[in-house]
Each structure stands twice: as C-alpha cells, then as structure tokens.
C-alpha cells in the first residue's frame, strides 16, 4: 500500500511497467487534502486509462498487473464517483442551490 500525503500539494505517482510485475497488487491512497495523479509508464494502461486522479481525501484505488501491458483496477473508493459528481457540479454551475447540495454531498464523501 502506498499512502500519499498531499497536504503540502498535489503529487504524481507513476506505476512501474506491468510486464515486470506479474500479478503484483498496488493500492494507492490519498491521505491528504490535495490530489494524487496516478500515471502509467509508456505503453501501459490502467483499464483503458493512462492517468487517474484521486482528488478526494481518503480515496484509494487498487491495481493488479496482467504481466503484459495493463494494470487492472480491481477496487477502490470514490475513484469514479468523484468524476461523476464533479461533472454534475459543472453542469449545475448556473443553479446555486443545486451546486450547494452537490458540495454538501462531496463534503460527506470526503469526511
């Protein structure tokens, strides 16, 4: 497990090449108030992604290598949910009441 303290600012983590880490499992957890950007080495993917952001405190993601060119996401908390809520927030920019409700939900998730 990799605990990343982002209290001092955002941090970028790069996963090693999947081919050299057969069935290796990594869990990366954001324990600070900033964001963690997870990237892959050239040619690899995380599912179909080349980067992933853990923007909420205490969010985490777990990967396993396929020993070829992929890190499969096999677990996590608030990984994709955060993206959905941020998208809804951007769509609700004109409606302040809706925006406030969404921000309260984000705070609940973050606590």
Average pLDDT over residues 39-63: 92
- DSSP one-letter string for the chain: -EEE--TTS-EEEEPPPGGGSTT-EEEEEE-SSS-EEEE--TT-EETTBSEEEE-STT-EEEEEE-SSSEEEEEEEESHHHHHHHHHHHHHTTT-HHHHHHHHHHHHHHH-
Q: Does residue 23 carry a pLDDT above 80?
A: yes
Alpha carbon distance 79, 52 (integer Å):
8
pLDDT of 83: 67
pLDDT of 82: 64
C-alpha gyration radius of the chain: 15
Please state, as a whole number, how many other Cβ atoms lie within 10 Å of the Cβ of residue 16.
14
pLDDT of 50: 94
What domains does the chain contain, in order, with CATH numbers? 2-77 (2.60.120.640), 79-111 (no CATH)
Question: Which of 17-26, 92-101, 102-111 has the largest mean confidence?
Answer: 17-26
| Residue 72, token pair as written in the block | 């499969």
pLDDT of 110: 58
Q: What is the pLDDT of residues 70-87, one digit of tens each?
A: 999 998 887 766 666 777
Share of the chain above pLDDT 90, in %: 59
């Amino acid at each position: 497990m990799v605990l990343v303290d982002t209290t001092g600012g955002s941090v970028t983590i790069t996963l090693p090449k999947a081919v050299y880490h057969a069935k290796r499992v990594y869990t990366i957890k954001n324990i600070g108030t900033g964001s963690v950007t997870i990237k892959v080495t050239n040619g690899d993917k995380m599912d179909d992604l080349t980067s992933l952001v853990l923007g909420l405190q205490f969010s985490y993601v777990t990967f396993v290598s396929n020993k070829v060119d992929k890190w499969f996401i096999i677990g996590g908390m608030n990984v994709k949910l955060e993206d959905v809520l941020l998208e809804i927030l951007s769509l609700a920019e004109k409606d302040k009441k809706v925006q406030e409700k969404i921000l309260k939900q984000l705070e609940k998730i973050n606590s």
